[in-house]
């Protein structure tokens, strides 16, 4: 019985840890800014969690404050909303989820 409880506790912890950050794939066709960083055209993995979004493409990593919000409509395609070449929102296709970017400065790094 102890083994079953321990397994259940570890499984719950593993799922909670895996769910702490959410991962999405996203493509940018033209250079766009997010926060204070410039994203070059290309495919990015966007990890969202803990009040931030982390864009990764190759050795480039850009971190910016962000929030995941639910929309009242389901998006058929992934798209982004930009103002003056600055991404302010990403709508995730097949979901009613959007990533909204705050005004805090981005942290860019290249490995």
Residue 70 maps to a domain: yes
pTM assigned to the model = 0.68
Residue 9 maps to a domain: no
Question: Domain containing 104: what range?
Answer: 21-110
Residue 63 maps to a domain: yes
pLDDT digits (tens, 9 = 90+) for 45-79: 988 888 888 999 999 899 999 998 999 999 998 88
Distance of CA 97 to the CA centre of its chain: 11
- The total domain count for the chain is 1
Residue 1 maps to a domain: no
Give residue 86's pLDDT band: very low, low, confident or very high (50, 70, 90): very high
Residue 80 maps to a domain: yes
């Amino acid at each position: 019985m102890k083994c079953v409880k321990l397994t259940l506790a570890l499984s719950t912890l593993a799922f909670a840890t895996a769910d702490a950050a959410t991962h999405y794939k996203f493509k940018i066709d033209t250079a766009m800014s997010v926060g204070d960083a410039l994203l070059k055209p290309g495919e990015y993995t966007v990890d969202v969690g803990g009040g931030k979004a982390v864009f990764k493409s190759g050795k480039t990593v850009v971190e910016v404050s962000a929030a995941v919000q639910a929309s009242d409509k389901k998006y058929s395609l992934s798209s982004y909303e930009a103002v003056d070449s600055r991404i302010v929102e990403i709508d995730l296709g097949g979901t009613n989820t959007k990533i909204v970017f705050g005004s805090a400065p981005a942290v860019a790094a290249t490995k």
